[in-house]
Amino acid sequence: MKARTREAALTVTAVSTAVALAACGPDAGNDAGGDDAPRIGLLLPDATTDRWEAQDRPLLEAKIEELCADCEVEHANAKGDVAIQQEQMESMITKGVDAIVLVAVDARSLAPAVRKADAADIAVIAYDRLAEGPIAGYVSFDGEEVGRLQGRALLKAMGDRVRGGQIVMMHGDPSDPNADAFKKGALSVLEGTVKIGKEYDTLQWRSETANMNMSSAISALGVDTFHGVYAANDGLAAGSIAALKANKVDPLPPVTGQDAELGAVRRIVGGDQYMTVYKPFRPEASAGAALAVAAARGESFAGIATDTVRTAGDGEVPAVLLTPVSVTVATIEDTLVKDGVYTIQQICASGLEAACAEAGLT
C-alpha cells in the first residue's frame, strides 16, 4: 500500500475521518479510531517562503513513504497565521495522529498546543525551527553559523568598501527563533566592522515588507551612501533588490540571502544578488522523516539523532544538527546542481543563457 497524503482541514469541525490502513510498524501508537497505521501530521508555516512547499514537503513525504509505506501523512499550511496553526495542531490532536512534524509560525504561541499534544502522547518533532514546549526531537541547521556565513560573504563582496562602509540589514520574523540566531551570527561578524545605517525586523518574513523598508532606508540614508545589504533570506533579498532598482541605486550593492530559492540562484547568476545560504533540504527532510516515523511507531531515536539541544524550558532533546553552505556564482554547480536541487537548464532558462555561459554553467 502506498503512503498517502491528504490536506488537513483548517478547523477542528471540518476534520474528516481518517481511513483505516494496515499497520506498518510494531507499535502503531495511539490511533483513536482503532486504525493502527501510523499517521503523521505535517504542519508547515507559510507560503511566502518557497522552500516549505517546494522542497521540504515533497522530500519529507517521499522519505516517510520510503521508510513506512503504510504511513499516512496529513499536511496543512498555516499561511503565516498563528491562530490557524493553533487550530491545525488542535485538529491533529483530535484526530489522534501518532506524531506531528511542526515548523512553528511562532514558537512561543504554539507552546500550549505542543504541551497538549505531549499530554495526548503525540510526539512533536520540531522541524527547522526550535518549537517551545515538550518536543520529542529537533532537526535543523546551526542558525548562528548561517548568519556568520552571510556576514562574512557580505564583507568579502564589499572589499575596499568595508572601511568606512555602511550597510542596511533586513532581519527575519522575531517570533521565529531562527531569525534571532541568524541576526546574532551576522552581527557577530558585522558589528564594529561596518556601520549599520538601518536595521529592520520583518514580520512573517514578507518580501513586500522588506521592499517597503528598503525604500524607507534609501529615503533616509540617500541613494549612494550604503555599500551592502544584509538580507536574512531570499524573499527579503528579492524585496530589497526590487526597491534598490525602483530607486535607481546603480550599481547595486552586494545583497545576501538564504534558502537557495530558484529565483535567488537566478539573481545570483544575473548579478543582482551576491550569495545565498544553502541548507541542504534532503538531509534535513530525511532526518525529520526518520524521527517522525520512529516516533509514530513508538521506536527510539537511536541511530538517527546524535546531537542534543537545550529547549526553552531547559530540557534536553535529541537533535540532528546539519551544516549550512554559503553559495555564490562560483559554487552553484558544486553545490545545488551537484545535489540535484536544480538543473542547469532550470537555472539558465529564459534570458540567463549568456550569464550562465559566462559563469561556466553549461
The C-alpha torsion from 271 through 260 and 201 to 131, rounded to 10°, is -170
Q: Smallest gap, in angstroms, from Cβ of residue 277 to ligand GAL?
A: 8
Cα–Cα distance for residue pair 123/121, rounded to 1 Å: 6
Q: Smallest gap, in angstroms, from Cβ of residue 233 to ligand GAL?
A: 5
DSSP code, position 335: I
Cα angle at 168 between 165 and 174, to 5 degrees?
Answer: 140
Residue with cell 539523532: 305
Cβ closest to ligand GAL, residue 147 vs residue 197: 147
Cβ closest to ligand GAL, residue 70 vs residue 259: 259
Q: Smallest gap, in angstroms, from Cβ of residue 82 to ligand GAL?
A: 14
Q: Smallest gap, in angstroms, from Cβ of residue 234 to ligand GAL?
A: 8
Cβ closest to ligand GAL, residue 24 vs residue 260: 260
Strand segments, DSSP code E, in 161-263 are 166-170, 195-200, 228-231
Cβ closest to ligand GAL, residue 97 vs residue 146: 146
Cα–Cα distance for residue pair 3/292, rounded to 1 Å: 14
Q: What are phi and psi of 220, to 5 degrees?
A: -75, -40
Q: Smallest gap, in angstroms, from Cβ of residue 26 to ligand GAL?
A: 34
Query: What would you report as the CA-atom Rg of the chain, rounded to the nearest whole angstrom?
Result: 21
All three cell numbers of 139: 532537526
- Contact, 25 vs 297, CB < 8 A? yes
Cβ closest to ligand GAL, residue 95 vs residue 148: 148
All three cell numbers of 98: 501518532
Cβ closest to ligand GAL, residue 72 vs residue 140: 140
Q: Smallest gap, in angstroms, from Cβ of residue 320 to ligand GAL?
A: 14
Q: Count H helices, E strands: the chain?
A: 13, 13
All three cell numbers of 86: 493553533
Cβ closest to ligand GAL, residue 197 vs residue 235: 235
The one-letter code for the residue type at 326 is S
Q: By the criterion CB under 6 A, which residues form the site for ligand GAL? A: 49, 51, 128-129, 172, 176, 178, 205, 233, 258-259, 279
DSSP H or E stretch at residue 44: strand 39-44
The one-letter code for the residue type at 284 is E
Q: Smallest gap, in angstroms, from Cβ of residue 232 to ligand GAL?
A: 8
Cβ closest to ligand GAL, residue 23 vs residue 242: 242
Residue with cell 520529542: 136
